Structure 1
Amino acid sequence: EKLRLDKAGQYVVFSLVTRQDLMTIDRLRNTHHKGLRCMYLNEDQVLIVKIMPGILHEASHQVLARMIIRKAIVMGIEDNELFGMGATRIQGVASQKEVDAAFKPPTLRPLSTHWPTLVFECGVSESLEQLRVDGHWWLENSSGEVKIVLLISVNKKARRIILEQWEM
């Protein structure tokens, strides 16, 4: 309820979460709570859960993604060269993270284990600093495979949207 009323943070941190716990949480989440994104720190056994407050979060990155696809097509890039990965979990060096949305060129990166080239991280009424931590994770853990991270910070109360583009 607090999250819906913008009176709570968007992140919850759990410690001492084993990989077995993570698999159990994934099964529950996939059937009942699909609006959660997870980042798991393997060695520390820490699970960071990002709670999606609903339509505003999803619409924010979907609208921007559609605009980028349209521009890419105008530039001569075939629409089948931008494969939408959705909310995929990617394994980093010592942690794993789920993206809000991502794209990769399927001809150059056909495997499901391949990193995206473009990543979207969106936050509604959350700290821009936390989004920056997320953006940093993608660039640092991908060994240069992620080329661009777009951060979308939406603040309903201030009626403000902040976009940041991060690159290595």
Structure 2
Amino acid sequence: MTPDELSKILLLDEYQVLNIPQEDFAGLEPHIGTRAYTYRAAIGELRIKVATQIHGTISGWAAGLIREGEAAGAFDSRDLFLISKGRLQGFMGEYEGIIKVPDCAIVPRRRLWPTLVFEFGYAEPYEDLKADVKLLLEGSAGKISKAIIIKLDPLHDGETEIQRGFVEIWHLVDGQATKHGCKKSLFPPPRSHEVQKLELPLGDILRSQLDDLANEGWGRDDTIALYFDPLREYIEEATWRHLVQKGVLECDDESD
């Protein structure tokens, strides 16, 4: 496959599973752009996510965790970095040689591996998202504390609002990626949507940097909340923009 051929495929704006030999990947990788992807060199498989407005919402939601932690007095927001589409390598065991670009990750200051990773799925099958979570948690040998899946059902013809979606949180238990608790409904919003949240221990957020970055009075088991309602708002707004770009909806305010 040539760079031009790959560029044309990416213009289709669809979730792609491509066969790319290892010797060709280095020349093609720069042409993937800002999309999240997974490349498994051992089998020459490249999975590339769609780059939609909806996918971009995850960074805004993850940033809310950093803001919440600073507002609560747990840490200084300047000590945590939000990395969107950052390239990860150095996975171990059966995952050796794989290159992974997650949708979003949080990395404490002076730490190589992220502690929290967010994987967003729209067109992407749930099974592929779970495979990514296994790679991130097991392949990093637990250096990544938590992987958070946000999965939406794609819009069907005639739909202008997301109908179904959920959030899951995964962690490592005895060397195996394991779902923590049950999936939480994102769409349709439950009656208790205002209090829906993930509670993430500070020890999982800061890991080896806990002693250096946590403010006085904050310990490993103290938690920071990540509420669901802001994510819903981001997704609803991004869905509207996505449909405007697709020509499904009209935008009547382009005066500025």
TM superposition score normalised by structure 1: 0.79
Assess if the C-alpha contact under 8 Å between 1:102 and 1:117 holds in 2.
yes
Match of 1:166 in 2: 170
Match of 1:62 in 2: 59
Match of 1:13 in 2: 18
In structure 1, what residue type is equivalent to 2:62?
A: A
| Residue 133 of structure 1: how far off its partner (Å) | 1.1
Percent identity between the aligned chains? 25
Unpaired runs of 5+ residues, structure 2, are: 1-9, 156-161, 173-256
Structure 1 Cα separation of the partners of residues 134 and 143 of structure 2: 13
Match of 1:48 in 2: 46
Assess if the C-alpha contact under 8 Å between 1:13 and 1:47 holds in 2.
yes
Match of 2:69 in 1: 72
Structure 2 Cα separation of the partners of residues 130 and 165 of structure 1: 15
Distance 1:35 1:164, change over 3 A: same
**Is 1:99 aligned to residue 102 of structure 2?**
yes
| Residue 35 of structure 1: how far off its partner (Å) | 4.1
Structure label with greater radius of gyration: 2
Task: Please give the secondary structure, in 1, of the residue aligned with 2:54.
Answer: helix
Task: Please give the secondary structure, in 1, of the residue aligned with 2:56.
Answer: helix
**Is 1:24 aligned to residue 27 of structure 2?**
yes
Unpaired runs of 5+ residues, structure 1, are: none
| Residue 147 of structure 1: how far off its partner (Å) | 0.2
Greater percentage in strand: 1
Match of 1:39 in 2: 38
RMSD of Structure 2 on Structure 1 (CA)? 2.2
In structure 2, what residue type is equivalent to 1:152?
A: I
| Residue 51 of structure 1: how far off its partner (Å) | 2.7
TM superposition score normalised by structure 2: 0.53
